[in-house]
Amino acid sequence: MKICIVHGSPRKGNTYKATNFFKEQLQKNGSIAFREFFLPKDLPHFCVGCYACIMKSEEYCPHHLYIGPIIQAMKEADGLIFTSPVYVLAETGGMKAMLDHCAYIFLSHRPIEEMFSKVGMVISTTAGAGTGHVIKTISRNLRFWGVKKIHSCGFAMYAKEWEEMRTTKQEKLEKILRKKADRFYHDLQRREKLPTSLFTKVIFGMMRGMCKGYPEDQTDKMYWESKGWLQGKCKPF
């Protein structure tokens, strides 16, 4: 089993430690190969809004050298884990930049069919508040990618460092992470049998209708036609 992890921060603080504990629990269930990326090191550029990925092809993105390997690793993985500490009540700039670079794989453009069988996990920690905002933003993007099932775990530590938490609070977090890891692994095992969300079905159907009216040389239409999604009732899920 393969899992791709995208860390929203290079700092190996509380979110990183929570993620490592989560990984350890997953490995107790079975053999897993992890592929990890650390932002912004592995994607050191903000999206410049040039529309090249949408209007032409993702290969025309000026940062394709960096975002390309991340997309490929996500395609090859069975599960996806996204992590981000809270920076001023939101996800890190590195994580936002990565999500911006993935606009072209939205259901409304050129969804990656492998995403329709993925299980996702979003992990966020904070010393105070804001994990809900982080989880909401990342999860919303995963839904628009067509990810089949999305789990999440947000935890307010009220401490700058993991070791500064009270023992009872550490134990509480570890208990939560153990349960989340077991559920995530369980869904990974049965991901092919998980139902496709109504959201994915509706947006996919709407986009298929729109694509049929696009000019023949429009990038999104050519992509959908190449997949066979515009013919009859052919669907990737």
pLDDT tens digits, one per residue of 189-205: 999 999 999 999 999 99
Distance CA 155, CA 65 (A): 34
Contacts for 30 with CB less than 8 Å, ≥ 6 apart: 1, 185
The neighbour count for residue 56, using CB atoms within 10 Å, is: 13
Local confidence band at 159 (pLDDT 50, 70, 90 cut-offs):
confident
pLDDT value, residue 233: 67
| H/E element, 119 | strand 119-126
Which residues, listed in sequence order, are joined to residue 119 by a DSSP beta bridge? Answer: 79, 149
Place of tokens 């089949």: 148
The pTM of the full predicted model, rounded to 2 decimals, is 0.96
Local confidence band at 147 (pLDDT 50, 70, 90 cut-offs):
very high
Average pLDDT for residues 106-126, to the nearest whole number? 97
pLDDT value, residue 116: 97
Question: H helices of the chain, where?
Answer: 14-27, 52-55, 64-76, 93-101, 131-145, 167-189, 198-212, 219-227
For residue range 16-75, what is the model confidence (pLDDT) as tens digits? 999 999 999 999 999 999 999 999 999 999 999 999 999 999 999 999 999 999 999 999
pLDDT value, residue 162: 87
Whether residue 212 lies inside any domain: the answer is no
Whether residue 99 lies inside any domain: the answer is yes
Overall number of domains in the chain? 1
Are the C-beta atoms of 196 and 76 separated by less than 8 Å? no
Q: Mean of the per-residue pLDDT values for the chain?
A: 96
- Whole domain around residue 24: which residue ranges? 2-194
Distance CA 63, CA 98 (A): 11
Whether residue 41 lies inside any domain: the answer is yes
User: Which CATH number belongs to the domain containing residue 112 in this structure?
Assistant: 3.40.50.360
Nearest alpha carbon to residue 124 among 83, 90, 95:
83
Whether residue 224 lies inside any domain: the answer is no
Average pLDDT for residues 149-159, to the nearest whole number? 94
Whether residue 226 lies inside any domain: the answer is no
For residue range 15-32, what is the model confidence (pLDDT) as tens digits? 999 999 999 999 999 999
Describe the crossing of helices 64-76 and 93-101 by its angle, rounded to 10 degrees: 80
Are the C-beta atoms of 43 and 63 separated by less than 8 Å? yes
Whether residue 214 lies inside any domain: the answer is no
Distance CA 174, CA 52 (A): 44
Whether residue 112 lies inside any domain: the answer is yes
Whether residue 35 lies inside any domain: the answer is yes
